[in-house]
Structure 1
């Protein structure tokens, strides 16, 4: 038996922006668009007027993206391109039910283009532990690109909740993320600060201490490898200590990853941090199916209209009852009881009005959101 699911929907949704919303998009120029090197993602090459250069943006949609009227999802903006593992990891964690399904948006550099990471991530020069100087100086322009160009564009193209965005940075991008929290805490709801290069900007410590009282209940995860260089461990501890002590205004979690060095803990970091920053509203239910008679099943067959005018149809195929909603592939639904159905492996279910006659409406639940669809035939 073939079990249909919503996994194939990811790329289809990504390649089909929302036209009604896109009219409000900012003027960030999209140079090219197409499949990304990462599986299940698309890649946009965009040109930033704020920075004056191109960036490579890869977008991975959650396995069960928002489909109900008005439904939105959080986004995690990952610097350093997410080392090409952030998108797949976020997709897996969301699908496994350990975190809220989220769009993973990585920010990197196009192949063959200028690699200006140090300049973009630092707001000024910083002295490395070996005495050499990291020039920096482009942090303000890069921050403007993220907040004034990229974030509005993503929120125009995809059903993203602007009040639930998370910023994730490691090493140099970790100190950039710490600076974002210190100077613009309202820009993101959550912050993942990993192995921050505090050596490049020691002033961030005092500014983080000052920001705690106006953090507005934000969540911050600070992580570092326990076996990193002593100055990196000291930087991670310094950021954590600066943010501690005010749980009323800021929810903090700190983890030193035992036996790990500067980059080796990156994959497990996401497994620890994403569920803390973006917890699920409720666990995924995994009921057992029951068998309905053909007469019982046929009661639910018909066409139902959502509040945005989309028609969802319930019928059957060789594998059983079939749900079809515009914008998503057909998927089988399974009865857990009379009038209650679910989609295998995801947080999606349907509850029909009880009774002997064909139901006049169905309540549709996806990822904690719900909507009513009225029967039209």
Structure 2
């Protein structure tokens, strides 16, 4: 048996200053173009990185036709054999919310550890990004962050709390339902840094609010996803972002027809590449 290899990809492990272990997946174009390159930081790296790297490798071959430039992708994952580390991502991607204000889970299950978004942002901003910049020639005017689901929630939280972190933010199917009041409070006090406008893309699948067979199962999952208002929240919050950041944010919204919370991922990633990694 021969292990599968993704050309241009490499993997390295990092331990944060806070003592948390991460697995970092990096894709670079081969041969590497001269000059600084755009970079896309991608959450849920274990599962999302292969999709994004393959899409970027294919599309960046003819940048003049696809609108996707040769770029660096940095997938941020965990040293585990799973595509998704539910426990770690739930902690890292969620804002700090008081226990009494935590959203309900299906079946009223207890939450594990949550509220680690600020520590995770510290790792990205002060440890990971400098390490990547030391290893690769990065264009500071073309940096982006992509997250899906809780990752999309984290991307919005990062935008509202550290708007200078990246130039483009892509929040795919953001789990706004987890902390809607917190996000809107931060949006009310949002002040972008005095520099070039930031670009924001919010995406969602049209079936994420219900409408698929199985949404009315005996358990309460169907009512739970309807209560979460994934489509309405994404549309409404992107509009609120546009109004609040009129002078500092360029906000776009896209809904993918006939896609659910899982099936929408490849489409969201493909659009994110065109949105964030276009040639100058």
TM-score of the superposition, structure 2-length normalised?
Answer: 0.79
Mapped to 1, the partners of 2:69 and 2:247 lie a distance apart of: 23
Mapped to 2, the partners of 1:56 and 1:141 lie a distance apart of: 16
Match of 2:91 among 98, 112, 119: 119
Residue 333 of structure 1: aligned partner: none
Matched, 1:58 2:25: yes
Can you list the C-alpha shifts for 1:89-136, whole angstroms capped at 9, x where unaligned?
A: 122222231212210110111125975111111122431353445341
Structure 2 segments unaligned to the other structure (5+ residues): 210-225
Looking at CA atoms only, which structure, 1 or 2, has the larger radius of gyration? 1
Can you list the C-alpha shifts for 1:210-266, whole angstroms capped at 9, x where unaligned?
A: 436658411111100011024211221232122123554211211000111002121
Mapped to 1, the partners of 2:179 and 2:6 lie a distance apart of: 33
Q: Classify 1:122/1:96 alpha carbon distance in 2 versus 1 (closer, same or farther; 3 Å).
A: same
Residue 26 of structure 1: aligned partner: none
Match of 1:43 among 8, 11, 24: 11
C-alpha contact 1:129 1:199 (8 A) present in aligned 2: no
Residue 186 of structure 2: aligned partner: 207
Mapped to 2, the partners of 1:206 and 1:163 lie a distance apart of: 28
Mapped to 1, the partners of 2:79 and 2:4 lie a distance apart of: 11
Residue 252 of structure 2: aligned partner: 253
Q: Classify 1:76/1:99 alpha carbon distance in 2 versus 1 (closer, same or farther; 3 Å).
A: same
Mapped to 1, the partners of 2:5 and 2:232 lie a distance apart of: 36
CA-based RMSD: 2.3
Mapped to 2, the partners of 1:38 and 1:128 lie a distance apart of: 40
Structure 1 segments unaligned to the other structure (5+ residues): 1-34, 282-377
Match of 2:201 among 218, 221, 239: 221
- More strand as a share of residues: 1
Question: After TM superposition, where is structure 1 displaced by more than 6 Å over at least 4 residues in a row?
Answer: none
- CA deviation after TM superposition for structure 1 residue 146, in Å: 0.6
Residue 279 of structure 2: aligned partner: 280
C-alpha contact 2:163 2:192 (8 A) present in aligned 1: no
Residue 314 of structure 1: aligned partner: none
Residue 42 of structure 2: aligned partner: 78
Name which structure has the greater RCO, CA cutoff 8 Å, separation 6+.
2
C-alpha contact 1:99 1:274 (8 A) present in aligned 2: yes
Aligned length: 243
C-alpha contact 1:174 1:196 (8 A) present in aligned 2: yes
Q: Helix, strand or coil: the match of 1:252?
A: strand
Q: Helix, strand or coil: the match of 1:220?
A: strand
C-alpha contact 2:171 2:201 (8 A) present in aligned 1: yes
- More helix as a share of residues: 2
Mapped to 2, the partners of 1:55 and 1:191 lie a distance apart of: 21
Q: Helix, strand or coil: the match of 1:146?
A: helix
- CA deviation after TM superposition for structure 1 residue 275, in Å: 1.6
C-alpha contact 2:94 2:117 (8 A) present in aligned 1: yes
Which stretch of structure 1 is more off in the superposition, 169-178 or 269-278? 269-278
Mapped to 2, the partners of 1:239 and 1:37 lie a distance apart of: 40
